[in-house]
Structure 1
Amino acid sequence: MHEILTDYPLDDCNSFGFSARSRLAVLVRSEEDLRSALTDPRLKHLPRRLIGGGSNIVLSSDFDGVTLLMRIAGRRLVQENSDHWLVEAAAGEIWHDFVRWTLAEGYPGLENLALIPGTVGASPVQNIGAYGIELADRFDTLRAFDTETGSFVAFGREDCAFAYRDSVFKHHPGRYVVTSVRFRLPRPWQPVLTYPDIAATFNAAAAVRPEAVFDEVVAVRGRKLPDPAVIGNAGSFFQNPIVPATLHDALKADYPKLGGYLQPDGRIKLSAAWLVEQSGFKGVRLGHVGVYDKHALILVNHGGGSAAEITALAGEIKAGVRAKFGVQLVEEPVFV
């Protein structure tokens, strides 16, 4: 049975480190905790929200409701055959720890997604991705609680409607609470070395081990991205915009160094970091917050910052990029 905590501090529950409190909180350590908390008559009429690792949120203020803190743990091999490993992790597992565990157990395939902050439960919501792989590429099924029907449901890949940093769960906020996710990891394993930052380390003629890819991804991300335990941040703050090919070609004529990745529908994905840096925002500081001086896509809390300051800085960046390039940036973190 769940325990209700009062006046709960959320400073350690969001990677920006913003100070905020929740009137009530429940540590969800099992599916039964979740079900009982969501049907508890003492909580039923209060506003509620779910926080996992807090790595993709901006806490705007104290919350006069109940915060469910996802803490369900567990990971296991479900099935193994000649063409895949099927592994499962509970929603409260730390994503990077889970990736490291899969390699230690001999189930490679997620190494390109190493060091992405957050929990397993949040990974399909955002359809996390890095260095040539999206979660959708390795996804099998997930289990979630439907707060409208009061029952647990299963989602297959098509049900999730995955797209770039998007899924069906983003379009029905609050309805579904993910409790576990299964991943289908193909075998024999093949390295994904499509990104120059990663491929440059490896000799094309030599055998590549999954642990080496994992180590290189961790090293590259470590050089570029600040540790939230040291400098508060929510990782990449803006999505890479996807624009019509005509706009990309026009911008390329004016800015020859503009890159781009062709999408299946013919549009071009641009680097939000490049756009922000070329607009003059890299290293800029506004009050207690700023743009990280080593990566223009990371907004940071230097200490004592607030959601209001982050919102103001993000607004200035979006306006600056729009004025210079005619491209509209969209935030990745959720403002709550």
Structure 2
Amino acid sequence: MPSSPFHSLKDFNTFGLAQGCLQLVRANTLDLLIDTCCKLYQTQLPMLILGGGSNIVLCEDFLGTVVLVETKGVDISEDENNHYLSVAAGENWHDLVCFCLQKGIAGLENMALIPGTVGAAPIQNIGAYGVELEQFCDWVDYLDLDSGKQIRLQADECKFAYRDSVFKNELLGTSVIIRVGFKLPKVWQPQLGYGPLREFDAKRVTPKQVFDCICATRIAKLPDPAVYGNAGSFFKNPVIESAQFDSLTTVYPDIVGYPHGVDQIKVAAGWLIDKAGLKGYQIGGAAVHTEQALVLINKGNATSDDVLALAKSIVKKIEVKFGITLEAEPRMITATGERSL
């Protein structure tokens, strides 16, 4: 096996980390995607399926084949109550949100500017500003690598949870998402419970106003990957027991949290990192973004080791200060597969 990879992945991960791979396949048709993945799976050689590369940290050079999912296509249908979309996995997520608004189809606007592809969205059950993918997902088609068959899961079979799904658990490594179905009610219910959205009047606000507000907020807070490489929110908002949250409020009355299920609170990880004084904290070429503490950035020359060291240091500091363990949101990709932080 060659000592150094042939293909750079720097342009295919939004962190801009200079890792590579032995082979790179750009699958722009469904047939090519299926044929490539099935053949690679049968050889049992390392394979990495990539969409937009926006939710990964390339820890090392990948000693196998990277398959870029670049399939395209959006089909629309409707009935009396709903719009239905069938979307190819390689479509850009934000472009889909814009497409829907142009067609007068509302519901996804709170998730505007989330980076990545449609095929990656169900894996993570992406979400932002009070809305998650599972609320509008109708079904997911995936390629079963063991059988070579295409299988459809209804939304309730996907085991969606906070930044989680069956694709990160039981189906990890044996499935490739190829298409996603959406069900968007024609009667729009604006979701205005988070941040600047609270300023709107629910009876008067339009989907475009929500979209514009979300875009302006994200642009103001989140760095452009073309300027500072990043993977978006690096840590999940931790979910803790209400009793622990109440205890923390006695010490930190300004702590930010939201009800989550029964007797649990989802704490804003960005607030924890900011409160710990870590905005701007830097190791090597990796740093905590000064405008949004939840985002780690590549200041231009960061190595994978810099990013990992920074992330681990933050986790340790938050544990010591608040007794809360942060969990990384991006996938950690090693030479032959995936691991935890």
Q: Find the residue that maps to 1:179 and give its secondary structure.
A: strand
Go from structure 1 to structure 2 and tell me whether the alpha carbon gap of 1:154 and 1:286 turns closer, same or farther (over 3 Å shift): same
Instruction: Report the CA distance between 1:204 and its aligned residue.
Output: 5.2
Instruction: Tell me if 1:198 matches 2:203.
Output: no
Instruction: Report the CA distance between 1:191 and its aligned residue.
Output: 1.5
Q: Find the residue that maps to 1:109 and give its secondary structure.
A: coil
Q: For residue 89 of structure 1, what is the amino acid of its counterpart?
A: V
Provide the rounded CA distance (Å) in 2 between the counterparts of 1:115 and 1:68: 24
The answer to whether the 8 Å contact 1:37/1:43 transfers is no
Instruction: Report the CA distance between 1:30 and its aligned residue.
Output: 1.9
Q: TM-score, normalised by structure 2?
A: 0.93
Report the equivalent of 2:254: 257
Q: Find the residue that maps to 1:69 and give its secondary structure.
A: strand
Matches within 5 A, 1:116-127: 116-127=114-125
CA deviation vs aligned residue, 1:248-290 (integer Å, no higher than 9, x gap): 1111111111121111222111000011111111111211110
Report the equivalent of 2:168: 170
The answer to whether the 8 Å contact 1:38/1:44 transfers is no
Q: Find the residue that maps to 2:6 and give its secondary structure.
A: strand
The percentage of aligned residue pairs carrying the same residue is 41
Provide the rounded CA distance (Å) in 2 between the counterparts of 1:144 and 1:235: 25
Q: For residue 156 of structure 2, what is the amino acid of its counterpart?
A: E
Instruction: Report the CA distance between 1:213 and its aligned residue.
Output: 0.9
Matches within 5 A, 1:204-215: 207-215=204-212
Provide the rounded CA distance (Å) in 1 between the counterparts of 2:124 and 2:40: 31
Structure 1 runs not aligned, ≥5 long = 1-5
Report the equivalent of 1:55: 54
Go from structure 1 to structure 2 and tell me whether the alpha carbon gap of 1:148 and 1:265 turns closer, same or farther (over 3 Å shift): farther
Instruction: Tell me if 1:291 matches 2:288.
Output: yes
Instruction: Report the CA distance between 1:203 and its aligned residue.
Output: 4.1
The answer to whether the 8 Å contact 2:47/2:64 transfers is yes
Go from structure 1 to structure 2 and tell me whether the alpha carbon gap of 1:36 and 1:198 turns closer, same or farther (over 3 Å shift): same
Q: Find the residue that maps to 1:265 and give its secondary structure.
A: coil
Instruction: Report the CA distance between 1:328 and its aligned residue.
Output: 0.3
Instruction: Report the CA distance between 1:32 and its aligned residue.
Output: 1.1
Provide the rounded CA distance (Å) in 2 between the counterparts of 1:212 and 1:264: 29
Q: Find the residue that maps to 1:121 and give its secondary structure.
A: coil
Matches within 5 A, 1:91-106: 91-106=89-104
Deviates more, 1:187-196 or 1:290-299: 187-196
Provide the rounded CA distance (Å) in 2 between the counterparts of 1:149 and 1:203: 51
Matches within 5 A, 1:264-275: 264-275=261-272
The answer to whether the 8 Å contact 1:146/1:153 transfers is yes
Provide the rounded CA distance (Å) in 2 between the counterparts of 1:84 and 1:7: 48
Q: For residue 71 of structure 2, what is the amino acid of its counterpart?
A: I
Instruction: Tell me if 1:132 matches 2:111.
Output: no
Aligned length: 328
Provide the rounded CA distance (Å) in 1 between the counterparts of 2:144 and 2:38: 12
Report the equivalent of 1:88: 86
The answer to whether the 8 Å contact 1:72/1:90 transfers is yes
Report the equivalent of 2:278: 281
Report the equivalent of 2:217: 220
Provide the rounded CA distance (Å) in 2 between the counterparts of 1:125 and 1:166: 7
Q: Find the residue that maps to 2:119 and give its secondary structure.
A: helix
Go from structure 1 to structure 2 and tell me whether the alpha carbon gap of 1:39 and 1:167 turns closer, same or farther (over 3 Å shift): closer
Report the equivalent of 1:143: 141
CA deviation vs aligned residue, 1:132-187 (integer Å, no higher than 9, x gap): 11000111001110112211100111211000010011113221110111111112
Provide the rounded CA distance (Å) in 2 between the counterparts of 1:259 and 1:281: 17
Provide the rounded CA distance (Å) in 1 between the counterparts of 2:294 and 2:41: 42
Report the equivalent of 2:27: 28
Provide the rounded CA distance (Å) in 2 between the counterparts of 1:318 and 1:137: 30
Please identify runs of 4+ aligned residues in structure 1 that moved more than 4 A.
none
Deviates more, 1:150-159 or 1:29-38: 29-38
Match of 1:312 among 309, 312, 330: 309
Provide the rounded CA distance (Å) in 1 between the counterparts of 2:69 and 2:59: 20
Provide the rounded CA distance (Å) in 1 between the counterparts of 2:131 and 2:37: 35
Report the equivalent of 2:324: 327
Q: For residue 267 of structure 1, what is the amino acid of its counterpart?
A: Q
Provide the rounded CA distance (Å) in 2 between the counterparts of 1:328 and 1:15: 25
Provide the rounded CA distance (Å) in 1 between the counterparts of 2:255 and 2:184: 34
Report the equivalent of 2:339: none
Q: For residue 126 of structure 1, what is the amino acid of its counterpart?
A: Q
CA deviation vs aligned residue, 1:294-328 (integer Å, no higher than 9, x gap): 01000000011111111100111000000000000
Match of 1:113 among 102, 111, 114: 111
Provide the rounded CA distance (Å) in 2 between the counterparts of 1:238 and 1:312: 14
Provide the rounded CA distance (Å) in 2 between the counterparts of 1:53 and 1:87: 20
Q: TM-score, normalised by structure 1?
A: 0.94
Instruction: Report the CA distance between 1:82 and its aligned residue.
Output: 2.1
Instruction: Report the CA distance between 1:22 and its aligned residue.
Output: 1.0
Report the equivalent of 1:240: 237
Q: Find the residue that maps to 2:33 and give its secondary structure.
A: helix
The answer to whether the 8 Å contact 2:89/2:177 transfers is yes
